[in-house]
Structure 1
Amino acid sequence: MVTACIYLPFEKEASIIKRDLFNSIPQEWVKSEAGHNEGFFHHLKTSRGFLDQLYAVWKHNQCDYVGFSYNDVFLSLAGREYDKDIAKAGITQSDSRSFKWRENDLLSVIKVSENFIPRLYALEDISVVQDGDTIASFYKRKTGKDRSLKQLSELIKKAYPEFYASFDDVLNGKTLIPCNVFFLQRNLLNEYCEFLFGLLEKISFSSYQDEYVDYYLLSLILFTTYFTNGNIESLSFSAPAIYVSDYLRISNDLNSRNIVKSVLRKEKIIRYTSPKKVLYGA
């Protein structure tokens, strides 16, 4: 029997979704890990991306497939025309909120692919940028210093040389995966979290007191580095990665109510206004 769970940091998010694959993260997991490594865990807790919660899921979860979502951002399987077995003819409000992730859907989902991540977004679609901003210059302008990026570069070059070129491409590029949201096989989750938290922990113990380290932004840089590295055979996907849907513009005001409105508005355009001209889904 295949087991899976998509974890959410807050109970209220799990209750909004109302689907059996979605569960709030047991807080005893978080408290347990906080007690083991208080200093590092404090740094993770300051992150807007709930890295402390993700760390706890990594250490305690035993499912075959593991998902993680936060800030009302969810991977969507609804309405994808090229997957007839998991697409729906009409998008209801309930479907918009669940984004088609249910236990009954699981076998159909993993036939398409066993690993799902968001797509790359242009930096200007994620945050306010200046002309010519790369990921590296954006980080430096946001935090005031780029010492953490230089440290990461040296650490990756030494410990993960197979990821060094990918890391360099991300820093000098203008695209980023905007959130640590995913649905992965457990072994791939383990590999990714060892990479992510191993590097962040080294940064946390070597950072200077006068330097603000944006662990959330660093985690997005590392997430993008890891999953856009096409040279690593174990990271290949059996199908293109499922995107956070194009109609979800990643911003600070993104919430489930806006998601529902966007989906229903898109559905109306497709069904009534211009059914042949609008391509729906990823």
Structure 2
Amino acid sequence: MTMYVISHKMFDYDLPNGYQPLLVGADFNSNPRGYLADNTGDNISRQNKEFNELTGLYWMWKNTTDPFVGLSHYRRYFSPHSFGKRIGGRNAMYLWLLAFGRTHPVSEEELQAMLKEYDWVVAYPEDDSKGKETLREQYIRGHYEVDLEHTREAIVKLYPEFTNSFDGVMNGPAVMAPYNMFYTRRELMNDYCKWLFDILFEVQSHTDMTGYDTYQRRLYGFLSERLLNVYLHQQRNVKIKYLTVFNTGDLKRKAVIRHLTNRMGITEKN
């Protein structure tokens, strides 16, 4: 198995067995430690500013053969800790850290055990709108609506059988498994990647980014977060394991308390 850890720079974190750093945007970023790089073989490394971690995913798809494969980030990892099936996401992670003070990435043994029962491991679904928006409304609030329209058009053209799933997910509650993180079997990742990149390259052929700032140019990374959820929604018979994600920058107690109070709408008194 390999859990590829996507990064645009060198980083210091004690990775478990089976975790492998993968430098993305390697055509633009230095690599003094000799990480695996997304600019070898069949690649789209030069499009990293638009595709973000997806240049790493594309490289994984085209240039590796691991029978079990996953994607995480240099700051974000799946945690084995939770408060049960009904409580997950960042709130659960912050509560765990407040109570126990530490966590760690899920091990390769734990991931392998999960795939004996489940088909996909993805991030616990989150809703930052607190039930006030649809996923479509949430996207439009932060990005350009025309790109979402192009995405639907691409699905209708290339994979019309996914249209109802796209509409159902986007017009449903603003809940999604975020971060483009996953762990699964090779054949399932291959199927997903073909579907995903077919759609994104079709969207790209109709997209004009004139006037987009650096943030909005990360378009395909934003779209793919939603599309992973559309893809999984369509797979009626797959079993999905949801894991809470932790950020290595949020492990200190002061940061944990700040995040919890902010998410509960509590502000500090002067």
TM-score (norm 1): 0.67
**Deviation digits for residues 201-224 of structure 1, max 9, x if unmatched?**
111122124364522211111111
Structure 1 residue 106 displacement after superposition: 5.2
Q: Structure 2 vs 1, CA of residues 54 and 45 (structure 1 numbering), >3 Å: closer, same or farther? A: farther
Map of 2:113 onto structure 1: 108
Amino acid of the structure 2 residue aligned with 1:109: M
Map of 2:55 onto structure 1: 52
Q: Structure 2 vs 1, CA of residues 42 and 163 (structure 1 numbering), >3 Å: closer, same or farther? A: same
**Deviation digits for residues 80-100 of structure 1, max 9, x if unmatched?**
779xxxxxxx9784xx2233x
Structure 1 residue 135 displacement after superposition: 2.6
Could you say what secondary structure the match of 2:55 adopts?
helix
- 8 Å contact kept, 2:129–2:138: no
Structure 2: distance between partners of 1:74 and 1:18 = 10
Amino acid of the structure 2 residue aligned with 1:172: N
Q: Structure 2 vs 1, CA of residues 79 and 223 (structure 1 numbering), >3 Å: closer, same or farther? A: closer
**Deviation digits for residues 103-137 of structure 1, max 9, x if unmatched?**
x4455333332421123211427xxxxx9543323
Amino acid of the structure 1 residue aligned with 2:169: V
Structure 1: distance between partners of 2:231 and 2:68 = 18
**Deviation digits for residues 149-203 of structure 1, max 9, x if unmatched?**
2222122123212211111122212222221001010011011111111111111
- 8 Å contact kept, 2:158–2:199: no
Map of 1:280 onto structure 2: none
**More helix by percentage:** 1
Map of 1:65 onto structure 2: 68
Could you say what secondary structure the match of 1:55 adopts?
helix
Map of 2:27 onto structure 1: none
RMSD across aligned C-alpha pairs, in angstroms?
Answer: 3.2
Structure 1 residue 18 displacement after superposition: 2.7
2:38 to 26, 30, 37: 30
Could you say what secondary structure the match of 1:200 adopts?
helix
Map of 2:18 onto structure 1: 21
Residue segments in structure 2 that go unaligned for 5+ positions in a row: 24-34, 86-98, 258-270
- 8 Å contact kept, 2:4–2:20: yes
- 8 Å contact kept, 2:125–2:176: yes
Map of 2:264 onto structure 1: none
Map of 1:172 onto structure 2: 171
Percent identity over the alignment is 22
Map of 1:159 onto structure 2: 158
Structure 1: distance between partners of 2:185 and 2:198 = 20
Map of 1:134 onto structure 2: 134
Structure 1 residue 79 displacement after superposition: 5.8
Q: Say yes or no: does 1:188 pair with 2:188.
A: yes
Map of 1:276 onto structure 2: none
- 8 Å contact kept, 1:43–1:204: no
Amino acid of the structure 2 residue aligned with 1:154: E
Structure 2: distance between partners of 1:244 and 1:114 = 17
Could you say what secondary structure the match of 1:25 adopts?
strand
Could you say what secondary structure the match of 1:221 adopts?
helix
- 8 Å contact kept, 1:78–1:91: no
1:9 to 6, 16, 25: 6
Map of 2:263 onto structure 1: none
**More strand by percentage:** 2
Aligned length: 225
